[in-house]
Structure formats: structure tokens, C-alpha cells
Structure 1
Amino acid sequence: MLLTITTTATPAADLGYLLHKHPDRVQTFGQSFGTAHVFYPEAGEERCTAALLLDVDPVALVRTRAKNTPDFSLGQYVNDRPYAASSLLASAMANTFRTAMRGRCDLRPELAASALPLEIVLPALPCRGGRNQAERFFEPLGWRVEATRVPLDPGFPEWGDSRYVTLRLTGEMRLADALNQLYVLLPVLDDAKHYWLAPDEVDKLIRAGEGWLAGHPDRAAIIRRYLADRRKLVRAALGRLADSDGSPEDELDRDPLDEEPPAIDLTAAEPGAPDPDPEHEAAPPPVPLAERRIQAVLETLYAEGAGRVIDLGCGTGKLVARLKQDNRFTKITGVDVSYRAVQIAHRRGLPDDHGAGQHGAGQHGAGQHGPDQVPRVEILQSALTYTDERFRGYDAAVLMEVIEHVDAPRLGAVERVVFGDARPRVVLVTTPNVEYNVRYEGLAPGAMRHPDHRFEWTRAEFAAWAERVAAAYGYRLRYVPVGDDDPEVGAPTQMGVFTKEAA
């Protein structure tokens, strides 16, 4: 089976730096089911193509067959696995391009962070659902998709088409994002995996789906196929995506398991069970933790009478969008270090136009800004580890699920910037409670909730940090549990409310 990746970004041969594979050499990597070869059919200044060729050993493949494959099945020996792109190719990608998938390139860091013109070709891809399914999964990610049906036999067109397509993707994308999308979507389109699913498969999915899966309109279908409709794993993955603040705003009030009918009706009564009481109304679906965090932050801002609010580490602007809907907030600013996140927030229409922005956007909209007036809502790109005069002058600052993404040695810089220089009257800090992680099915012991978390604190560790900061910078401190407060392990999110002491 074959995968080719082509770029025309000059100098194109720098693709070798990103893949950590030299264009002048053919490299071979042993797999449990065969051998992967990486080579470059072309490597020039203006165009470069890297190829991953996977040579599957049929005997080794039989030895690694799925647990539920019957021993007498001819499917062990007569199948398309050595020839059609599948989870085998995804596994080979993860083994050979591991560093590239993490987005690391010490010699060309700016290249690893940049979107490149890419063309990806898979000559034979099993695609349950056909061409439309490939378009459905890849187009929302920004790809132009060309999926051509492969006939069963070109010599006998009356036999019709096979279940395979030749897939060509073109677009501008970070190479790491492209590889991670392929890693997830190849077995999803095939709707099969060559290995038995363990609970850590959720961790792999969350890690590879970072930055794109939570916002995909068909994420529920992707997750179900990737996890083979294993109900506990699917629920764990959907819950962790919702808890990571990655879900679009209009999805927060929906039960993710209702987004697409599952292969088996999970809501059907067991055989012989009594009919449900028609007078008893079904309980409403639980509110996702991401939404409960936002509600807790909003309620605290209302209680503190904060009108001017800055969201430090705003991501793509989920909280900013909610603040914008309420005219009690007279000045709203979102700040994030990620250029991509800021651009997404701009595309969502969150900042006000300096010349024609609406004051009190949405249903609370009030008059127009004049050409010289400051917009009510702004989105800025800046780092929280450096003082920035634009952070000053706010009633409240919010750091919602931010500090755990900061390397521990740099937390002191964040403290000085927020509490020492910006010095808002109120600071709200939320962070995961690591003690609660044992309640998440599918989260491996010792694993963190998000692949980018540098740490996750116990309640005692968070209290020690918060009390030290409050004492150092003259703030009073109180704690607010967010989510269901478990009597043994506490709430899933812990929030500290810092209020500046009167002079």
C-alpha cells in the first residue's frame, strides 16, 4: 500500500526536515506486520514528493489478526489488507513519522508551524460509504477532495465499482495536522482495525485529534468508527472532547450520542423489560463540563459586578462569544498566544469592526461605534509570560483552563504579568482537579485529560499555589467547585476567585 505527500513550498526539499527523513536515502522500518519504506520519487527546489510504501507480510498479519476473527475464517488469508490503505498504514505512519506528527522540527521550527501547500494521494483506499463519505470527513478540514471510484475490473465495466477509491487531497495545511488527520481517518473510512481496541485508544484519538476533531461537524461518526462503536470508549472520548472546551457553541446543549444513530440502538429497552412509564418524562441530557465552566465564570463575573473583562488564553473565543451576547459587559478582550486560534476567532466574527462594530452585539445590540471609538470586543495575539500594557485597566481577568498548559518553571512569569502588572480587581482561574480523573472511563491511569497539559493539580496543590499567589500580590481568595462535587475526589474542575484587597 502506498501514500505520497507532495509540496511545492520552496525550497520543496525541506519536506525532508519536517519528516526527519533524508531525501537522498531510502529508509526501511520494520513493523510487526511487515516493512515500511520511505523514499522520495522527486526532491527538487520547486517540488518534492515523499512516499511511504508498506509491504505487508501475510503470515505476520495472520498472527496479529483481530481477537474476534474466527480461526476457520478464510478472511485471515484471503483479504485486501496487504494492498489497500487501512489502519495498517496508519500504524506505519505513527511509527515512521512520529516526530513529524508531533509538529517538532528543531532545525526548521518556523516551517513546522506553517501551513504548506500539500497534495496527498492514496491510490487504493477502502471507503465504506464511497466518495461522499471521503468528502464528508475531509472537506470540513479545509481539503479539496478528489475521490475516484476504483472499478472491480476495468475489463468488465458491467461489474460496477469496488468499495475502494483513489483519494487525492490538496490544500494548505501544517504537515503535522495533515498526518494526524490521516492517522485517524484512514481506519475511519475503512471502518475496521487490524488490532484489538484497548482503553488507551481514546488517548490516541484525543492526541491525534487535537485542534480539529472537536470542531468537526461529524466528530460523533468519526469517533464511533474509530472506536468500533465500543460504547464506553465512545462516551469517554466524547466526554473528554466536550470537557476540553473544543466543542462548537451550538453543540453544548446536545447529547453527543444522539448526533448520529449508532449501529445498535443504545436506548432500546432490554428484551423482556417493562415498557417505560409514558407519564414519566425522560431526564434531560447532562450539561457538558465545558458549559458548566462557562456558566460558573459568568455567574462569578455577575456577582463581582465586572463590566470590563479580559479572557487570557481565550483559544478560539468560546467564552468571548458568550460575553459578547450580554451588554452588561462593556469591554471584552480575548488574548491568545496561538496565531491560528486568533485567526479562527476573527473568522467567527468575534472582534468588532473599529468603524462599524455593534455595541452590545447580538440581541443586546445598542448603537454603532463611531470611526474613532474603541471597539467593544477585541481579539489580541500575545503571550501571558511577558508584560503587555494592553492587559491593564480591566475589572476582571479570566484564565479558564490555561495554567495547566504553561510549563511549571514559567508560571512565575504568568503570575507577575497577571497579578503584578495587569492587576485587575478580580482574577478567575480554573484548572482540572487531577483527583477526579479516576472517574473518567477510558482515561489510562496516570494520563492527563489533554495531551498539551504540562501538569494537573490535586485540590491541595492548587490551594497551595493559589494561596501563595494571593498573599504575594494582595488578593483575597475563595474556591468554587465546578461540576458534580464527588464526596471522595471532589469536582472535576476547581476554580479560584481572587479579589483585590482594599488599599
Structure 2
Amino acid sequence: MLLTITATATPEASATDLGFLLHKHPDKVQEFEQSFGTAHVFYPEATRDRCTAALLLEVDTQALLRARTSVSTPDFALARYVNDRPFASSSLFTVALGKVFRSAMRGSCPSRPELARTPLPLELHLPAVPCRAGAEKARALFEPLGWRVTAEPVPLDPGLPGWGDSHHLSLTLTGEQVLSEALSHLYVLLPAMDAGKHYWTDRSEIDKLLRAGGAAGTGEEGAEGDAEEGARPGWLARHPERAWITRRYLDRRDGHVRTALARLSEVLGEDGTGDDPAAEEAEEAEERGPSLAEQRAGAVLAVLRAERVSSVIDLGCGSGRLLARLAEEPGLERVTGVDVDTVALERAHRRVCRGCEGGPGRHRPLLAGASGRRGGPSGPELLVGSVVHRDRRFEGHDAAVLMEVVEHIDPSRLPAMAESVFGLARPRVVVVTTPNAEYNVHYEGLADGSLRHSDHRFEWTRPEFTLWADSVARRYGYGVRHLPVGDERPGTGAPTQMGVFTR
């Protein structure tokens, strides 16, 4: 991860005065250890007319993996190792930014206090910024703050232009800015653009957001010296995208979002009762019925009951949400869960055995290659395995479920998955659910063509899913019917589509 900050000389200041503001001498290379890697500060150029400071963050991926405590890790084993975290300017980078340039962000410069309050001609460049909302959103975030924005999509592979662009931007910001405010813009907007923090978002994040947004005076815990600054609206309170920024920065935690927006409204003298999209979404969340995940699991169970199946294998069971409900079904003689992620299987084990006689330690998950053991009265059987590999342990079940699994598989490997499930295992019933891409237009903040989850390899429209399902059914001797899951909308259908294959 890399950030370069370039200053040019003015009649009042030399370009190398940037070193005073950053509290980092241009003649030195400095290192700052982080829990997840090492941050380096150095100056590629330092003359009176032009000075560039660089912050380079090297991430130790193994240290990051060991330190991870979040239970929201995607249930896909490679996603824990293969991702953009070591290279893209995500929340890891903003944590390092806040620590390495802490004094500069506060506007503290005892030797040159007037300089810390002076707008300087600056150019900030970040070569890889995650932003699924696209370049237009990046401009909508930075241009109201006085920046001239150049946001170019980064291609997936420059040597293969047919692959298209990634969801990363090469971002350059130019303009006359007070350095402390420029750094605060990055500190808030980079994680908002990424919308995927590597740490848990608790209430302390509200105060971090408001302090960086120039509104710390609205809270009880504003930093020393912030009260006067907080008396006038900071940049975040005045930003036209403040609701979007706040919701994404606070990881969509509705209670935190409502609190932060209310405090921002106080700064502007508003009563906080205006039409705010984030607040309305939070209120609707409290009133709405079962979540889509609950409706999906309920639909799968309803199909299995209607088909009167006696045994089920949950392929890609993840942390066991459906598996726990299958274990409680009185008509099932055998229940098996399969996943490639051993950490997810451990969570599934704890979930399904929570109510087992003898406590959670009674039933241990089986590992790939272990001898099979029948589920049922002794609890579900848990196996480490991949649905794209032919595996004899998958045979002998009356039904198989792939709930929100196929979209996590590379399209080139879908034939291998079909052969494993429909060709080798050949259960009497196969239930497949997957997102309906046509419905994505109803999700606020999801750009056109974007996917719902960072690990999705694709998302099918209804005709695309029908075409795939019908071809698989014909090849392997199944019939298939298609069912919607969730609230249907005119023109786009339901958020989830289900295929029920029967042999």
C-alpha cells in the first residue's frame, strides 16, 4: 500500500516545509511497526521547489491472519489468504496513517504553528484504492472538499484487456488544502469507499469519525483543543454525502449510524428529523420481518419437507446456520455438513452441538480422508471437502443442498461441481439457491454491475440461472423447477432464485 504526498513551494513556504508538518525529516528513512506489518516513511524527492513524502505499508499476511478475531470472515478458505488486503489502501492503511502521522492529522506543529493552518498546494496519489461504487462516487466524495480528482479504474490484468477493470481505482487528488484536513479526508473516506474494515466497529468509532470529520465538539470525548473547532460545522457535517460516508465508515451498524448522524445534525443546528436515507433504512430494519437469510433457509427446509427426504448433505455449509436447523428436523435420519474451511466447520460444530447431550465437546467434526460416520442421533457429520472434487463421501444421501454456494465457484469449475454432485453423488433431490443479479438495482450503494459479496465470482440473472440449471438437468437426468425466495419486485423478481432438481 502506498501514499505519496507532494507539496510545491509558495512565496510563504518552501516545499520541504512538508517535513515540519509531517514531523518526519526528509533526510531520514523511518520505520514504524504495526501489529499487521511495517510502515515506512521516506522522501523520493526533497527540494525547495518540490517535495514528496511517501508512506509505504508492508503487510505481514500471516500476522494479519493470526491476529484476526472477527467472526464475520467469509466462509471460503482461500479468501482468508488470497485477497487484496496487503496491496490496496483499505482500513489497514488508514490505521497506519493515523498512527504514523498522528501529530500531522491533529494540526500540531509547535515550531511552525502558522504553517499548520496554511493551505498548501498538494498532490496526493494512491495507486490502488478499493471502491466498488466506482470512479463517479470517488469524485462525489472528494470534489465537494475542494479536490480536483483523477480516478482511473485499475485493470484486472493489463496484459489481458478483455478481462476488464477491477474494483480498484488509481486515485490522484490535487488542490490547495491544509495538510491536517487533507489527511483527515483520507482517514475517513478510504474506509468508507472500501466498506470492509479488518476490525470490529464499536462505539468508539463514532468519536473517531467525528473527530476526523471536524465535529468532535459535539461529543463528550472530543480531543483536547477540539471544542472550539467543533463549534463550527466541520467538513463531514457539511458534506452532501455525509449519510453515505457515515453508514459505510461505521460498517452499517444501524445504532452507531443513527447516533453519529444525530450528532452531525446538532453541529448544523438541525433537529435531525429530516429525510435521511440511512436513518430510514435503520428504522425499516427494525420493522421488517424475517431477514433474507432466514427466508432462504426456511424455503430450503420447506422444499426438503415437501420432497420427504430422509437424509441431507449440506455442501458448503459454512458456519452451520442451515445445518443447525437440519439437525432439528425430526424426519431426517442423517445430516452431513461439508466445507473447505476448517475454521467455519469448527463454528458449525459449536453451533449444531450447543444443545447436544454432554455439551459442545461431545461430537467432533471429521476431517477430509477420515472414515465416514453416520449422523443422526449422535449429531451431524462434519467433513472437510470441496464440492468441485469427486468425493465418495458425498454419496448415499437422499438430498443435497448448495445454498449460496455456486456463485463462490469460478465459472470454469462449475462443470466439475456439477459432475461431483449430479454425476457422482446423485442424490434424489438437489436444492440450489443463488443471488438474482437483476434484483441488485434495489440495493442502495451497490454500483451497476457490482456483486453483493467480495468473494462472489459471478451473479446470474434469472435467464442465466435457468439456462445453466436446465442444461445440468438434461445432462444428468434430472427435472428442475424454479422458485423465487424473498419479496418479488416487478421487472426484477426476488432477491434469491432457487432451483429444485429431482431425479
The TM tier, using the shorter chain, reads 0.5 to 0.7
Partner of 2:194: 204
- Map 1:441-460; keep pairs closer than 5 Å: 441-460=444-463
2:294, 2:423 → 1: CA distance? Answer: 30
1:262 aligns with 2:259: yes
| 8 Å Cα contact 1:352/1:377 also seen in 2 | no
- Which amino acid is the alignment partner of residue 468 of structure 1? S
Q: CA RMSD in A?
A: 5.3
Q: 1:324 to 1:313 in 2, by over 3 A?
A: same
- SS of the aligned residue for 2:186 comes to coil
Q: How does 1:156-305 map to 2 (within 5 A)?
A: 182-183=92-93, 193-195=184-186, 204-206=194-196, 209=198, 218=202, 225=209, 230-232=242-244, 257-258=254-255, 262-265=259-262, 270=273, 284-305=287-308
SS in 1 for 2:185: coil
Post-superposition offset of 1:406: 0.8
Q: Report the equivalent of 1:439.
A: 442
Residue 54 of structure 1 corresponds to which residue in structure 2? 41
Name the SS for the 1:194 alignment partner: helix
Distance 1:471 1:379, change over 3 A: same
Shift of 1:471: 0.9
Q: Render the CA deviation track for 1:13-51: whole Å, top value 9, x for unaligned.
A: xxxxxx9xxxxxxxxx66146899998899xxxxx9963
Cα gap change, 1:354 to 1:472, in 2 (>3 Å): farther
**Distance in 2 (alpha carbons) for counterparts of 1:348 and 1:435:** 33
Q: What secondary structure, in the 3-state scheme, does the structure 2 residue paired with 1:334 have?
A: strand
* Alignment check: 8 A CA contact 2:317 2:323 kept: yes
Q: 1:141 to 1:385 in 2, by over 3 A?
A: closer
**Correspondence list, 1:286-435, <5 A:** 286-348=289-351, 350=353, 375-435=378-438
Q: Distance in 2 between matches of 1:441 and 1:492?
A: 14
- Return the offset for 1:466: 0.2
Q: In the alignment, is the contact (CA less than 8 A) between 2:246 and 2:261 conserved in 1? A: no
Note the alpha carbon deviations across 1:128-153, whole angstroms, 9 max, x for none. Answer: xxxxxxxxxx87679xxxxxxxxxxx
Matched-pair contact (CA < 8 Å) for 1:419–1:473: yes
CA distance in 1, matches of 2:381, 2:421: 18
In the other structure, the counterpart of 1:31 is 4
Cα deviation 1:169-210 (Å, max 9, x = unaligned): xxxx97979967734766899999423977x9666223x55x
Change in CA separation of 1:415 and 1:40 when aligned onto 2, cut-off 3 Å: same
Report the TM-score when normalising by structure 1: 0.53
In the TM superposition, what is the alpha-carbon distance from 1:232 to its structure 2 partner?
4.2
- Hey, what's the Cα distance between the residues in 1 that align with 2:247 and 2:255? 11
The one-letter code matched in structure 1 to 2:469 is A
Post-superposition Cα deviations, 1:394-442, rounded to whole Å, max 9, x if no partner, equal 1211101111111111111100110111111111111111122222111
Tell me the equivalent position of 2:230.
none
- Secondary structure at 2:317's aligned position in 1? coil
| Structure 1 position 307, deviation (Å) | 3.1
Provide the secondary structure at the position in 2 that maps to 1:264.
helix
Please give the alpha-carbon distance, in whole angstroms, between the structure 1 residues aligned to 2:36 and 2:359: 47
Maintained 8 Å contact 2:310/2:331: yes
Tell me, yes or no, if the aligned pair for 1:387 and 1:417 is still in contact at 8 Å.
Answer: yes
Structure 2 portions without partners, runs of 5+: 8-23, 47-52, 73-79, 106-182, 214-235, 266-270, 276-283, 363-372
The answer to whether the 8 Å contact 2:311/2:333 transfers is yes
The answer on whether the counterparts of 1:220 and 1:259 sit within 8 Å (CA) in structure 2 is: no
User: SS of the residue aligned with 2:468?
Assistant: helix
Distance of aligned partners of 1:238 and 1:439 in 2 relative to their CA distance in 1, 3 Å threshold: farther
Is the contact made by 2:246 and 2:257 (CA closer than 8 Å) also made in structure 1? no
Opposite residue 185 of structure 2, the aligned amino acid is H
Cα distance, 1:460 vs structure 2: 0.8
Q: Distance in 2 between matches of 1:330 and 1:459?
A: 34
Query: Take 1:439 and 1:467, find their aligned partners in 2: how far apart are those partners?
Result: 27
How much identity, in percent, do the aligned residues show? 38
Q: Deviations over 1:214-243 (max 9, x none)?
A: xx584996899599794346667999x8xx
Distance 1:469 1:302, change over 3 A: same
- The answer as to whether partners of 1:459 and 1:494 remain within 8 angstroms in 2 is yes
* TM-aligned CA distance change 1:115 to 1:443, over 3 Å: closer
Cα distance per residue 1:340-393 (max 9 Å; x no partner): 22233234454998998999xxxxxxxxxx999973312210011222122112
TM-score by length of 2: 0.53
Asked if structure 2 preserves the Cα contact closer than 8 Å seen for 1:33 and 1:56, the reply is no
CA contact (8 A) 1:38 1:51 kept: no
How many residue pairs are counted as aligned between the two chains? 337
Listed one character per residue, the Cα deviations across residues 111-162 of structure 1 (whole Å, up to 9, x for unaligned) are x69955x7xxxxxxxxxxxxxxxxxxx87679xxxxxxxxxxxxxxxxxxxx
Q: Distance in 2 between matches of 1:224 and 1:436?
A: 35
